[in-house]
Amino acid sequence: MSASGGAARDVAAAPRLRERRWPPVAPLVVVALLVVSALFAPLLAPRSPVEGSLGARLIPPIGMEGSRAEHPLGTDRLGRDTLSRLVYGARISLSVSIVGIALTGTVGGFLGLLAGFLGGWVETLLMRLVDVSLSLPGILIAVLLSVVFEPSFTNVIIVVAFLLWPSYARLARGETLGLKQQEFVALARVAGCSSLTIMFRHVVPNLVPSLLVLATLHVGYVIVLEAALSFLGVGIPPPTPSWGVMVADGRGLIEQAWWVSILPGVAILVTVLSLNILGDWVRDRLDPKLRQV
């Protein structure tokens, strides 16, 4: 009797415990630092991220022999301050993530909504476009764009949109196929609502939580993608202080000046890990399927 009563109390308390679950502190602090660095980079960076001095090249970080207080994280091969470039690099990473995911989520979600709600030849055409997009490698698209045009921020956004829109389209289509079978959609049709009204007034609000969950999980992926493209020379062009560019600048100096590549690499690792943990937390909070578990 007591065992069953205790189990019943645990089951009843589980939803309340989950509702009180706060976001993980350490990842939240890391993401907050990323946002603050991106917004206030000119105020936080001690020096210019693109101007250096050959007399101050390859200065090691604080704690190593030959370090200087004015360069706490050292300098690169052109004498540019590593800390300043890391701070400005956070702005690049966050900008690419916000712009790329906002554009991709909007376009992909809208196309998936149309495919799921209208069906027929519209669904067939859009889903075949999704299959074509998934079959083409994003790195190849980036290389082609860099050959036709100069490497730029716009090219990175195009590659991000090309790679990610199928995910949002598929998710929106699947959710819409289920939602349009719900009673509230049937009642809206009986009330005389048009298809456009039903889609944007009744279906879209129910799609937004799922799309937001996917967007939070994609932020870390976009940061890694931008860093990889910049590392290969087809992303953000130097001397713009991208983390991928910084890693590429120091790849030939690992034995002589490890900090040039290792520090931005650690920044990418910690940022992406923190964003993935927060993304999992957001999924637990917003995903209706998980809320019912």
| Residue-wise pLDDT tens digits, 195-232 | 888 888 888 888 888 898 888 889 888 988 888 888 88
pLDDT band at 287 (very low <50, low <70, confident <90, very high): low
Q: Are 217 and 105 in contact (CB under 8 A)?
A: no
The pLDDT value given to residue 167: 93
The pLDDT value given to residue 290: 56
Q: At 100, give phi and psi (nearest 5°).
A: -65, -45
The pLDDT value given to residue 172: 93
Which residues 6+ apart lie within 8 Å of 177 measured at CB? 116
Q: Are 62 and 69 in contact (CB under 8 A)?
A: yes
The pLDDT value given to residue 111: 93
Give me the long-range contacts of 16-20 (CB less than 8 A, separation at least 24): 18/284
HSE toward the beta carbon, residue 20, CA cutoff 13 A? 4
pTM: 0.82
Q: Is the pLDDT of residue 248 over 90?
A: no
Mutual angle of helices 259-286 and 204-231, in 10-degree steps: 170
The pLDDT value given to residue 252: 82
Q: For the residues 119-126, what does the mean pLDDT come to?
A: 90
Round to whole Å and give the CA distance between 285 and 291: 7
The pLDDT value given to residue 216: 85
Write down all domains in the chain, each with its CATH number in brackets. 28-37+78-291 (1.10.3720.10)
Task: Report DSSP state, residue 60.
Answer: P
Tell me how far the alpha carbon of residue 60 is from its chain's centroid. 31
pLDDT band at 7 (very low <50, low <70, confident <90, very high): very low
Average pLDDT of the chain? 84
